[in-house]
Structure 1
Amino acid sequence: MAWLVTGGAGYIGAHVVRAFGTEGIDVVVIDDLSSGHRGFVSPEVPFVEANVVDRAALHGIFGGHQIDGVVHLAGFKYAGVSVQRPLHTYTQNVTGMVSLLEEMADHDVDKIVFSSSAATYGTPDTGIVTEQNPTRPESPYGESKLIGEWLLRDQARATSQNGPGLRHTSLRYFNVVGSGYPDLRDTSPHNLFPLVFEQLVNGKVPYINGDDYPTPDGTCVRDYVHVSDLATSHVAAAKALTAGRELEPVYNLGSGDGLSVRQIMDAVAAVTGIDFTPDIHPRRPGDPAQIVATGELAARDLDWRMRHNVEQMVASAWEARQTVRAED
């Protein structure tokens, strides 16, 4: 038996795949390589280059392998770009989920861990977010992730009429950083760590959007969680579902206190040895001062905890950036 990891060649997905391997659990990967990298996945892991909207590819995987469950990470993940590309976003994230759930039902696969997003909350009324906070997504990306959660809920309800039904949980998180392996790095053109590193590598000065927020140092405070910690909890969720444990429908994977953008910049300067003072740009419209999630429920059920401090997050990410592979 094996777990199917969709998007398993991506930055987060590849860490999840290796976390499964550490636990001795076989995996199969599907990824269209639109943002992932074939070199992130070991040649020993069965790999299908395809999109999850491709029913024929999914059918071949479920028919050709004994799939026990699914970790669904594949999707279009750029909230800002989703505003300009809503139809593409919904196709990848909503139609993709429908295709996956249909194939799972056709092949009697009844366990799924969904990589959701804290973008489902939108701009919360409070700086500390719990799973009870109202969901008010503000982008097609956030909306598509919330719809994915609804699809899981409704499919579980429908399939439970004639049996145990679909068993599922969704994991919501904010900014994923760091690296667990020197050959796995974040290559997103939209995320803070890669953006800052590229500025420094190219001899430019990183910048902060606004330093007059009502926070301790005036810059925005956000959750930053290490990708290896995240991967550990994805696998813990899969193992819990396999063991038949009851899980919450949604978990936040949060730090509980967060880090400011200036703290990140200071850590980058200290770790890289590149002395710089970030430029200050105007605030970006709509940026809340603080969004931080608690992780208490996930700590209780999914082995969630912050195992890395900010310096370790930056150091691991910088090491991976320094060992850029030629094929990237």
Structure 2
Amino acid sequence: MSKPTILITGGAGYIGSYVNKFIADKGYPTIVFDNLERGDPKTVVRGEFIKGDIRDTSKIKEIIEKHKVQAILHFAAYIDVGESVAHPIKYYENNVAGTISLLKAALATNIKSFIFSSTAAVYGIPSAPLVSENFPLQPINPYGESKLMVEKILKDISNSSDLKYIALRYFNAAGADPDGEIIVSQKGRHNLIPKTLLSILEKSEICIYGTDYDTPDGTCIRDYIHLHDLATAHLLALEKLLQGGSSSIYNLGNGSGFSVKEVLKKAEEVTGEKLRIRPTGRRAGDPPFLAADSKKAKSELGWNPIYGSLEKIISDSWKTMNSLSVN
């Protein structure tokens, strides 16, 4: 029996491109829809690529009907926290209004399964280091607010229609395609690991924001989740909905973390290069320790992350960045 066709918005980006490859290799026909503002068509190594914007409701309806799409994986969003603070309207227009346009097309074509790429930024600064899905939702920037708004919209739509959704709240997405097939530039990413590796390539400084936190080495601890483990969670969420499962929300993380100093030390070991490190003051809003309680995803989806090693995460990222610099 053939598997249903899946529409993947933002499927030419960092996470979406690998999820596209992963689920296509599991036998699902895929249609990647991306406006290429921040994506790269070369990363679409499976399925069919169609250029377009999620705010174009009529075009999305046409694609869904023509290809008999039965589910949507939605990755198309702006994700830079600093940019969201400087340009909030840009984020609400794309992340919120754009998703509404996409959902209009989904409802008009009787789509019943919708997977949403959300974020741990919806929690803001949590009151405890290990964060579960029932923690208070208190985002502290427009990026987090935009994702939370979409979650609320999805909940309302799910309650009033046949559309069911799963929102996946990522913690710190990291790593790269373990096969090395998809080469995504990580230069525009602002997470610690790509910034650290870029500083090695450019022979520039990397800052440590605060060295006096109440942690073993004084630096912040964060939960990093490998791209491959994110992809497996998306497949499990997709299959849950296709099999008639109910709407839900899941955290995705390893449940433990690595400090800034641990990440920098491991980056030096993996690359064989010495970093130029500059300790500086704390940033406002940085909690000392932040990690995901992912027990719900493990118990309800059967999710089992396999790439929790910091060395594996950094090594895969380094291979990607190094190959781009060579080329």
User: Which interval holds the TM-score relative to the shorter structure?
Assistant: over 0.9
Is the contact between residue 253 and residue 304 of structure 1 (CA under 8 Å) also seen in structure 2? no
Pairwise mapping of residues 144-293 of structure 1 onto structure 2 (< 5 A)?
A: 144-159=146-161, 165-180=162-177, 181-182=179-180, 183-185=182-184, 186-246=186-246, 249-276=248-275, 278-293=277-292
- Distance in 1, Cα, partners of 2:256 & 2:191: 20
- Distance in 1, Cα, partners of 2:300 & 2:200: 40
| Change in 2 beyond 3 A, CA 1:153/1:81 | same
Is the contact between residue 176 and residue 317 of structure 2 (CA under 8 Å) also seen in structure 1? yes
SS in 2 for 1:324: helix
Runs (4 or more) in structure 1 with deviation over 6 Å come to none
Partner of 1:29: 32
Moved more, 167-176 or 50-59: 50-59
Q: Could you tell me the percent identity over the aligned residues?
A: 34
- Distance in 2, Cα, partners of 1:56 & 1:188: 31
Is the contact between residue 172 and residue 253 of structure 2 (CA under 8 Å) also seen in structure 1? no
* Counterpart pick for 1:68 among 67, 70, 78: 70
* TM-score normalised to structure 2 length: 0.94
Is the contact between residue 213 and residue 289 of structure 1 (CA under 8 Å) also seen in structure 2? yes
Amino acid at match of 1:305: N
| Change in 2 beyond 3 A, CA 1:208/1:325 | closer
* Counterpart pick for 1:6 among 9, 15, 19: 9
- Distance in 2, Cα, partners of 1:326 & 1:99: 40
* Counterpart pick for 2:91 among 85, 89, 103: 89
Partner of 1:79: 81
Moved more, 137-146 or 186-195: 186-195
Partner of 1:162: none
SS in 2 for 1:323: helix
SS in 1 for 2:165: strand
| Change in 2 beyond 3 A, CA 1:262/1:11 | same
- Distance in 1, Cα, partners of 2:123 & 2:95: 17
Unaligned runs of 5+ in 1: 160-164
Is the contact between residue 232 and residue 303 of structure 1 (CA under 8 Å) also seen in structure 2? no
Is the contact between residue 199 and residue 205 of structure 1 (CA under 8 Å) also seen in structure 2? yes
- Distance in 2, Cα, partners of 1:278 & 1:304: 37
1:192 CA displacement: 1.9
Pairwise mapping of residues 115-130 of structure 1 onto structure 2 (< 5 A)?
A: 115-130=117-132
1:277 CA displacement: 5.8
- Distance in 2, Cα, partners of 1:56 & 1:269: 50
- Distance in 1, Cα, partners of 2:151 & 2:51: 25
Amino acid at match of 2:165: H
Moved more, 177-186 or 233-242: 177-186
1:244-279, CA deviations, whole angstroms, 9 ceiling, x for partnerless residues? 2345x2100021111111111111000001133622
- Distance in 1, Cα, partners of 2:190 & 2:312: 21
SS in 1 for 2:245: coil
- Distance in 2, Cα, partners of 1:273 & 1:24: 39
1:191 CA displacement: 2.3
- Distance in 1, Cα, partners of 2:325 & 2:156: 43
1:204 CA displacement: 2.1
- Distance in 1, Cα, partners of 2:69 & 2:222: 36
Partner of 1:319: 319
- Distance in 2, Cα, partners of 1:277 & 1:213: 21
Amino acid at match of 1:26: P
Unaligned runs of 5+ in 2: none
Amino acid at match of 2:73: V
1:4-33, CA deviations, whole angstroms, 9 ceiling, x for partnerless residues? 111000010001101111211111011111
- Distance in 1, Cα, partners of 2:189 & 2:165: 31
Partner of 2:142: 140
Partner of 1:104: 106
SS in 2 for 1:171: strand
| Change in 2 beyond 3 A, CA 1:22/1:86 | same
- Distance in 2, Cα, partners of 1:264 & 1:303: 29
Partner of 1:302: 301
Is the contact between residue 5 and residue 73 of structure 1 (CA under 8 Å) also seen in structure 2? yes
Is the contact between residue 24 and residue 47 of structure 2 (CA under 8 Å) also seen in structure 1? no
